[in-house]
Amino acid sequence: MKNKWLLWVAPLVLIIVLWVVARITGMLQMYTLPTPSNEPTIKRGAIVFSSTLKKPSPNNFIVFKSDYFDPRTSFSTKGELHIFRLVAKESDVIEMKDGVLFRNKINVDSDRNLLCNYIVNAQFVSSLPNREELEEKGLLHQIVHDQFEIYLTTKEAEAFTKKGILVQKVNYLVADAFSNVEVFAWMNKESKWTLDNFGPLLVPKDCFFVLGGNRHNALDSRYVGFIKKENFRGTVLNR
């Protein structure tokens, strides 16, 4: 009887020990996404696992520790852990044209389902069965009398277009999309670069450039700058 009890307990203890070691060393970590910055690929509230054993490469989601601090506004994310898609590494040249990302002159957004703002008319909005819900979540708001701004995924926008319904993707031309953070302010120089139009930009040695899938609502490298390799904390495994 005692031997049978040990047969059950020993594996359980081993699993617990391995889990603790993995957590301490970073070999395996678990996170819950608190924001919609990576939607639609990773939903808010989703649980993801990461590991330092998986080498980060473009298109992977990575976990990193932020060291961003803006002395002008005192806005800081220093010390916080964030998860975004790695879109470029050292020596890569990136450029975004009208919301489409190019890495080394290759379109890397062509097969990617992203979440962006679109302009739609009042007739479109009146046909939405969940209009109130979208407005409560901040995913739909009126701009002028007959125009609304709504968050849609690439696939949703394509589906509406195929039905002959006009949806126009927003192309942001102003640098300040967040109340206290400006796009590319970290470059410490005057720039006309925006959320949807920037570059060419060379990623320096031992650095990454990251972007959120929710392209118009993500505090990514456009706002906080390059991610230093020393701040890498793991590559997401289940995405």
DSSP 140-209: EEEEETTEEEEEEEHHHHHHHHHTT---EE-----S--SSS--TTGGG-S-----SS-EEEEEPPTTEEE
**In degrees to the nearest 10, what's the CA dihedral of 90, 178, 68, 106?**
0
165 HSE (CA, 13 A, CB side): 17
Q: What is the pLDDT of residue 180?
A: 63
What is residue 14's predicted lDDT score, i.e. its pLDDT?
41
Residue 156: burial class (beta carbons within 10 Å; 0-12, 13-18, 19+): middle
- Token pair 């906080």: residue: 224
Mean pLDDT by 10 residues, the chain (239 residues): 54 46 64 94 95 93 93 85 97 96 97 95 90 90 91 95 92 66 80 90 97 95 95 91
How many beta carbons lie within 10 A of that of residue 6, not counting itself?
Answer: 11
Q: Output Rg (C-alpha) for the chain, integer angstroms.
A: 21
Distance (Å, whole) CA 187 – CA 222: 10
User: What is the reported pLDDT for 19?
Assistant: 45
Phi-psi sector, 66: left (phi>0), alpha (psi -120 to 50), beta: beta
Q: Please give the pLDDT value at position 65.
A: 96
pTM given for the model: 0.86
pLDDT of 8 reads 54
